[in-house]
Structure 1
Amino acid sequence: MEERYLDLVLVPLGLLLQAAYNICLLYTVKNHPDRTVIGLDRMVRQHWVKTMMQAPVTNGVLALQTVRNSIMASTVLATTAISLATAVSAFLRDSSSSSSFSPFVYGNTSATAYSVKYLSISFCLFTAFLLLVQSIRYYSHAGFLLTHAATAAELEVEPAYVAWGLNRGTVFWSMGLRAFYLSSTLFLWIFGPIPMLASSVAICAALYFLDSTSAFTRKYHQSIIVKHSSLITPHSDASPIAV
């Protein structure tokens, strides 16, 4: 296979590998949430919200501090994403007139190929920025609702709605973080399609380790949830909130 055609084969293969992994992860989260860290954290947040809202005067400061930490984390990543996207755009503009590229890159080294690489990185970082901004939006809304002094009648509905908003913010946070991961593989594409494919395999392997749960973790979380449910309310049979 000629060198210039490697990008047409290896790069789509790396992107397809990452897409297939995330699709499998989404399927597992929807159908077997206890097998993923995302699913377990979602259930834990639902019970945490109900605990916080049962005593808003006592737990209000703790709840707001926890949400504030999430907002700060999203803000830092969003700022980093837009800064990197701006830097990549400026670098693309400055190097557009230059025709000298590294001879050590094994793959397509044309000016058009480099433009596509930099534009892909910028697009990925802008997408991460928008997703993280949405997570800040949901976190902020959940922060207002967490301190709402719910009455006994509202307590069956209000925590579920607040947990939905908090979980939705976490979904956008996770998507923005994975857009960062994708941008790192696209950055390595600058050095050729082989590093890009290798980094895609490495990231999928690392994410599988980070996203999956062990039998001990599942048993531990299940015991906490059962104990928590028995302490909070005698009839907490609400179905989990879908993210």
Structure 2
Amino acid sequence: MKFGVVVFPGSNCDADCLHAIKTVTGQPVEYIWHKSGSVDGFDCIVLPGGFSYGDYLRCGAIARFSPVMTPIIKFAQKGGLVIGICNGFQILTEAGLLPGALHRNNNLKFICKDSFLRVENNQTPFTCQAGARAVIKVPIAHGEGNYYADQETLNALEENGQVVFRYCDANGEITPAANPNGSVNNIAGICNKQGNVLGMMPHPERCAEAVLGNTDGQVIFKSLLEYWQRRCG
């Protein structure tokens, strides 16, 4: 299984993602420059966190028009695996690969801390190694992580099982106090209807090694590898 980590001007989690993928999965992984016109040969594309194009206009709005996004959109539409983390999630919504939008945090401040997530759907390629309603601790670091969608879209997300992660407390309870940024329905991560595209605000690559004091993020990368191995028979 070959991973590709896209590098936009302003990406700052690209090296973290590449290191985590290589360490956790042992699979080949390469950077993909934002001006690339092809993603041929890759099995999973990662859009990392950071501040692509300085977050000018709004987060992800300019990155969405990078040359590499054209083949990534086609790749996703054909069933290719794509995961957007933090700024990557914002780019995926701007590109129309995921519904909704990310607004400024409700306290209008940048938030950097550990958050607890409840796995709402463990039947996706990104969560198939997680237990049902498992609670994992994953750090967040964002100023615009407040997920919003209109009611019709929210209803569809809930009915289709597209809400993959929800902010919760240490016991897995979904409460307003556990919501760090004001995201509607405590949503921390969603997938598309087909299940092959995931966007999440928390950073699994920052909690994927024992030396960091937390390995909960490994479940994302190990799930992808398990899914791929099953898919390939």
Give the TM interval when normalised to the shorter protein.
under 0.3
Higher relative contact order (CA 8 A, sep 6+): 1
Taking structure 2 as the reference length, what is the TM-score of the superposition? 0.24
Greater share of helix residues, 1 or 2?
A: 1
Larger radius of gyration: 1
TM-score computed with the length of structure 1 as normaliser:
0.23
